Amino acid sequence: MSDKPDTMTIDEQVEYLMQGTEYGDDALREAMAQELRARLIEAQGENRPLRVYAGFDPRTSDLHLGHTVPMRKLRQFQELGHEVTFLVGNYTSLIGDPSDKDRLRPQLTPDEVEHNARTYAEQAYKIMDRDKTLIRYNATWLSKLNFAELIQLASNFTLQQFVSRENFRLRWEKGDPIYLHETFYAIMQGYDAYAMHSDVQVGGTDQLFNIITAARKLMTSLGDKPNIGVILGILPGTDGEIKMSKSLGNHIPLLSDPEDMYGKVMSVPDKAMGQYFRLVTRWTPPQIHKIESGLSEGRLHPRDVKMQLAREIVSIYYSPAQASQAEAEFVRVFQQGDLPDEMPQFQLKDGLTVLEVLVDSGLVSSKSEGRRLLSQNAVRLDGALLKEPHQVFPGPGVLQVGRRRYLRVL
């Protein structure tokens, strides 16, 4: 199999584009793969690119690596010559997507959406080809729908379909309110796909209902060919377990400096490396297969592979030279004896924050000193910068405060 997108066969393209997908159902995954193959052949025969998009509700301007997963897939479609749209959900953001939440999401103001959208797009261009990316806003068509049209769209769905979704069901069982406007989100997202006559829609597993059920059903009912859902797995955080999230403190910010980003990737457990290979690198299936075969056969050491992974990720957002410098700093501190041979140990307990670990372990004399050192970028875990005093402590490793204070967190 070729590891260069521009020389791939149709079957190789399907494997590449389905890399990292997760449907929770093998039959559904196979059906989407076969539809994608057929659509690629059809487009090739018509000498046209596929129309591909992912929607982004810019609810924050502070992005982390987990936000980039659909962008990486869009870039793969661009490499294969397809038309890619970065859809800004400036209208759907006014509702707030309930797909991955077990509580009502706050609504944003138009000014907040616009500010976040500009920052979001600029960071997306670290991955996507700026010159080949269309930027569109779904207010263009959603704001023009009238009440009768919305009723017609809604008639394609039952309340049971919405209430049976896990996030809504949990709220129902707890007696928490489920507002009617929250059901509009999937309908609006489905209409986005129809309005752009899309061939492919990219999204995470939290978007499965919106893409596979809502969009395909609406497009069919409106006389259009249903788009193909490329549903991607969710990137775990640096704990290797839970979805990457700023609130959980297990995230890798895109605005990290190269050393911090490198160190945070190195703190990811070995078991999660495969997900990182498939979701946030530029590596193709043959390259990943070669690495994983080397690991399983013992020809490659997990530490060396993780260093390769960290170098790849930092190179994407900075440069190969900066990635090499970050690696050299990591090696100097953590592999060449700059760490003391002996250091005190601290047994981590569930739920402790960064500040609590600093104080309880005796590394700092007071909470105020801990906050000051964190604000001065003087606290690192296995080389990764810690800045948020109240984030949950990421996990075991070597905790360093300043140049001379070290603690082995177990």
Q: Would you state the pLDDT for residue 336? A: 59
DSSP-assigned letters across all residues of 83-102: EEEEEE-TTGGGT---TT-S
**CB of 393 within 8 A of CB of 354?**
yes
- What does the alpha-carbon distance between residue 70 and residue 280 come to, in Å, rounded to a whole number? 9
Residue 104: what pLDDT?
45
In this predicted structure, what is the pLDDT of residue 355? 93
Exposure of 215 in the CB half-sphere (CA atoms within 13 A): 29
Q: Which residues in the chain show pLDDT less than 50?
A: 99-104
CA pair distance 137, 287, nearest whole angstrom: 36
Positions of E strands within 89-199: 133-137
Q: What is the pLDDT of residue 101?
A: 46
Q: How many helices (H) and strands (E) does the chain have?
A: 18, 10
Question: CA 91 to CA 84: how far, in whole Å?
Answer: 20
162: left (phi over 0), alpha (psi -120 to 50) or beta: alpha
Look at residue 162 in the predicted model and tell me its pLDDT. Answer: 80
Closest CA to 275 of 98, 103, 72: 72
Q: State the greatest distance between any 2 C-alpha atoms of the chain, in Å, as a whole number.
A: 73
Tokens matching residue 106: 């706050």
Cα distances (Å, whole numbers) of residue 89 to 108, 137, 170, 273, 342: 11, 6, 26, 31, 53
Domains detected in the chain: 5-232 (3.40.50.620), 245-338 (1.10.240.10), 340-410 (3.10.290.10)
Listing DSSP states for 145-162 in one string gives --HHHHHHHHTT--HHHH
Check residue 393 and report its DSSP letter: P
Model pLDDT, residue 298: 92
Q: Are 261 and 76 contacting, i.e. CB atoms less than 8 angstroms apart?
A: no
Contact 215, 201 (CB under 8 A): yes
Sign (positive/negative) of CA torsion 71, 75, 76, 81?
Answer: positive
3-state secondary structure of 329: helix
Instruction: Enter the tokens of residue 368.
Output: 């105020």
Q: DSSP assignment of 240-274, as one string?
A: SSSB--TTTT---BTTS-HHHHHHHHHTS-GGGHH
Return the pLDDT at 179: 79
Task: Please list, in sequence order, all residues whose beta carbon lies within 8 angstroms of the beta carbon of residue 220, skipping any fewer than 6 positions away.
Answer: 226
User: What is the per-residue pLDDT for 337?
Assistant: 55
The pLDDT value recorded for residue 185 is: 86
- Burial string for 107-117 (b: 16+ CB within 10 Å, else e) reads ebeeebbeebb
Nearest to 240 by CA among 385, 26, 66: 66
- The torsion angle over the Cα atoms of residues 40, 43, 48 and 49, rounded to 10 degrees, is -30
